[in-house]
Structure 1
Amino acid sequence: MRILLINPPWIRRQGNIWLNIASVMPPLGLAWLAAQLERAGHQVLILDAHAERLDLEMIAARLRELGSFDLVGITATTSLIGNALAIARLARAEYPQARIILGGVHPTVLPEEVLSEPAVDLVVRGEGEMTLLDIAAGKDQRDIAGISFREGDGFVHNPDRELVPDLDSLAPPAYHLLPMDRYYPAAGAYQRLPAVSMLATRGCPGRCTFCYRLFGKRLRVRSGRRMAEEAKNLQDRFGIREICFYDDTFTAFRKEVLAFLDGLKELQVDLAWSCFSRVDAVDEDLLRRMKASGCHQIMYGVESADPEILKNIGKRITPDLVERAVRMTQAAGIDVRAAFMVGNPGETAESLETTFRFALRLNPDLVVFNIATPFPGTEMYRWADEHGCLTTKDWQQYDFSRPILELPTVSHAVLSGFYRTVYRRFYLRPSYITRRLGKIRSWNDLRQALRGVRGVLNV
Structure 2
Amino acid sequence: MRILFTRPDSEIVAAPAPLGAMSLAAYIRKRRGSDELKIYDARVNYTRNDKLTQIIAEYKPDLLCLTAFSLEMEVSHDLAARVKQALPDCKIFLGGPYPTSDPASAIADKNIDIAFIGEGEQSFLKVLNALDNGGDLGDIPGITYRQNGSVIDNGYHDMIDDLDEIPVPAWDLVDLEFMFSRKGKRSMMNKLQRHNESVSVFTTRGCPYRCTYCHNVFGKKLRKRSTDHVIEELKMLQRQFGVKELEFLDDIFNMDMERAHEIFDRMEQEGLHFDITFPNGLRSERLDEALIKKFKKGGVYWITVAIESGSPRIQKLIKKNVDLEKAQENINLLAKNGINCNGFFMMGFLDETEEEIRQTIDFAVKSKLIIASFFILTPFPNTEIYNQALEAGKDMSARFSDYHDISVNISNVDNKKLWKMHKAAYSKFYLTPKRVWLILKANPFRVGLMDGIGYLFRMIFTGRELKKKDEVGPIIPETAALSETKN
Q: TM-score, normalised by structure 2?
A: 0.87
Distance 2:157 2:440 in 1: 51
State the partner residue of 2:466. none
CA separation of 1:409/1:446 partners in 2, compared to 1, >3 Å: closer, same or farther?
closer
Letter of the 2:432 counterpart = R
Contact 2:379 2:408 in 1 (8 A): yes
State the partner residue of 2:329. 324
CA separation of 1:24/1:241 partners in 2, compared to 1, >3 Å: closer, same or farther?
same
State the partner residue of 1:394. 399
Deviation of residue 422 (structure 1)?
A: 2.0
* C-alpha distance after superposition, 1:156-210 (max 9, x if no partner): 1224311111001111111211132325224544222211111111111321111
Equivalent residue runs for 1:164-313 within 5 Å: 164-180=160-176, 181-182=178-179, 183-186=186-189, 188-275=191-278, 276-313=281-318
Deviation of residue 44 (structure 1)?
A: 0.8
Other structure's SS at 2:303 match: strand
Distance 2:209 2:239 in 1: 35
In structure 2, runs of 5+ residues without a counterpart are 180-185, 464-487
Equivalent residue runs for 1:139-154 within 5 Å: 139-154=135-150
* C-alpha distance after superposition, 1:278-326 (max 9, x if no partner): 1122111111111100111110111111100111111111221211221
State the partner residue of 1:361. 366
Distance 2:234 2:169 in 1: 12
Distance 2:230 2:450 in 1: 30
Is 1:333 the counterpart of 2:338? The answer is yes
State the partner residue of 2:111. 119
Deviation of residue 58 (structure 1)?
A: 0.7
Distance 1:23 1:153 in 2: 39
Equivalent residue runs for 1:443-458 within 5 Å: 443-444=446-447, 446-456=449-459, 457-458=461-462
CA separation of 1:256/1:439 partners in 2, compared to 1, >3 Å: closer, same or farther?
closer
State the partner residue of 2:87. 95
Stretch moving more, 148-157 or 53-62? 148-157
Other structure's SS at 1:314 match: coil
Other structure's SS at 1:273 match: strand
State the partner residue of 1:75. 67
* C-alpha distance after superposition, 1:70-89 (max 9, x if no partner): 22111122111111112222
* C-alpha distance after superposition, 1:386-419 (max 9, x if no partner): 22324542132xx221223434621111110011
User: Identity percentage over the alignment?
Assistant: 28
The one of 18, 28, 31 aligned to 2:19: 28
Is 1:59 the counterpart of 2:64? The answer is no
Contact 1:188 1:366 in 2 (8 A): no
Contact 1:187 1:451 in 2 (8 A): no
Deviation of residue 52 (structure 1)?
A: 0.9
Contact 1:190 1:273 in 2 (8 A): no
Contact 1:76 1:106 in 2 (8 A): yes
Provide runs of 4+ in structure 1 moved above 4 Å. none
Question: Root-mean-square deviation (CA), in Å?
Answer: 1.9
Q: Number of residue pairs matched?
A: 447
Distance 1:274 1:250 in 2: 11
Deviation of residue 35 (structure 1)?
A: 0.8
CA separation of 1:408/1:94 partners in 2, compared to 1, >3 Å: closer, same or farther?
closer
State the partner residue of 1:18. none
Contact 1:392 1:404 in 2 (8 A): no
Letter of the 2:344 counterpart = A
CA separation of 1:58/1:415 partners in 2, compared to 1, >3 Å: closer, same or farther?
same
Stretch moving more, 22-31 or 435-444? 435-444
Letter of the 1:214 counterpart = V
In structure 1, runs of 5+ residues without a counterpart are 13-21
Deviation of residue 3 (structure 1)?
A: 0.7
Contact 1:209 1:378 in 2 (8 A): yes
Distance 1:211 1:49 in 2: 26
Q: TM-score, normalised by structure 1?
A: 0.92
Distance 2:356 2:300 in 1: 33
CA separation of 1:443/1:189 partners in 2, compared to 1, >3 Å: closer, same or farther?
closer
State the partner residue of 2:183. none
Distance 1:279 1:64 in 2: 47
Deviation of residue 438 (structure 1)?
A: 4.2
State the partner residue of 1:416. 419
Distance 1:317 1:440 in 2: 29
Distance 2:354 2:102 in 1: 34
Contact 2:44 2:187 in 1 (8 A): no
Deviation of residue 56 (structure 1)?
A: 1.0
Distance 1:403 1:23 in 2: 21
Distance 2:462 2:341 in 1: 23
CA separation of 1:188/1:105 partners in 2, compared to 1, >3 Å: closer, same or farther?
closer
Other structure's SS at 2:44 match: coil
Letter of the 2:57 counterpart = R
Is 1:86 the counterpart of 2:78? The answer is yes
Distance 2:17 2:167 in 1: 16
Deviation of residue 446 (structure 1)?
A: 4.2
Stretch moving more, 424-433 or 184-193? 184-193
Contact 1:390 1:404 in 2 (8 A): no
CA separation of 1:439/1:167 partners in 2, compared to 1, >3 Å: closer, same or farther?
closer
CA separation of 1:27/1:192 partners in 2, compared to 1, >3 Å: closer, same or farther?
same
